[in-house]
Amino acid sequence: MNRNAGAPLIEVAGLRVRDDVRDLVSAVDLRVEPGDRVGIIGESGSGKSLTALSILGLLPHPLRASGTVVVGGTDMITARGRAGDRVRGSTVTAIFQEPLTSLDPLMTVGRQLAWPIARHQGLRGRELRAAVLESLRDVRLPDPERVARAHIHEISGGQRQRVAIAIALACRPRVLIADEPTTALDVTVQAGILDLLDTAVRERGMALVLISHDLAVVSRVTDRVLVMRDGREVEEGAVRRILTAPADPYTAQLVAAARALEAHLPRVREGDAARSPGDRTADRGPTGGERA
């Protein structure tokens, strides 16, 4: 695959998603270069998930996309079958909000992970097994042998999401889309997952698109943010700027609401800010063991 050094990984221009009745997303532009960390913020009905699905070429049947959606040089709107499959996995992968429904409940974790590893890294047999365990360790899952043998309902929510990340990373994609990855998780687990995403993406030189309704979550892991409402882009810019000087009234309202709720919490203590992400390991319970 001949890569043009200047070409963006994801190029979305004038994206429009329609069903039989109305536009669900209109006039959305987004550009993701290698190494970018972009956030999409919106409430329910904003069209942020539909935008992600359009990029992946996975819009459910009655919905149709138009405009430009080019990922890794391939037009995802017109790509049929094989062409789309080649892009998904090697160029772009995704993790979703609820791993209970986005992972296979019948296969063990190890088998689910082995499949993309075998496909993208061409390994088999003992090497494959070793790679599976290594990839579970990479997402900081303690006791990878046990996890590899388990089914997804036998491990905790946070562990499931780590498995989903491991599967996504196994394909060695150039950009990862994370759609509300921590929304369904407990808050003590959220921090660990966000740190993992942050580190994994940086270490591999990947780009990240993080979608969430939570401003604090997005501002922690991304540099640039797109605010969506009712299917439209409302504002775009650097995270800091959006939070301190939002240009659009809707954005201002979102920021104000988030700050108003946070106002009652104690201010972040100096000691915490100094603690590095690497210190927080997977799902540590009060006794140091895993929590179910």
Interface positions with other proteins (CB under 8 A): 17, 19-21, 24, 42-50, 53, 60, 62-63, 96-98, 101-102, 157, 179-180, 186-188, 190-191, 194, 211, 213-217, 219-220, 239-240, 243, 253-255, 257-266, 268, 272, 286, 292
Token pair 């969430």 is found at 212
- Name which of 124 and 240 has its Cβ closer to other proteins: 240
| Residues 208, 201 contacting (CB under 8 angstroms) | yes
- Coil, helix or strand at residue 269: coil
H/E/C letters for each residue in 134-192?
HHHHHCCCCCHHHHHHCEHHHCCHHHHHHHHHHHHHHCCCCEEEEECCCCCCCHHHHHH
One-letter amino acid of 50: L
Closer CB to other proteins, residue 8 or residue 157? 157
CB 43: neighbour CB atoms within 10 A?
Answer: 12
Q: How far is the CB of 234 from other proteins (least distance, A)?
A: 12
Residue number with CB closer to other proteins (63 or 118): 63
Shortest distance, CB of residue 141 to other proteins, whole angstroms?
Answer: 19
Nearest distance, CB of residue 280 and other proteins, angstroms: 9
CB of 15 to other proteins, least distance (A): 14
Q: Find the shortest distance in angstroms from Cβ 47 to other proteins.
A: 6
Whole-angstrom Cα distance, residue 207 to residue 32?
Answer: 7
Which of residues 48 and 174 has its CB atom nearest to other proteins in the complex?
A: 48
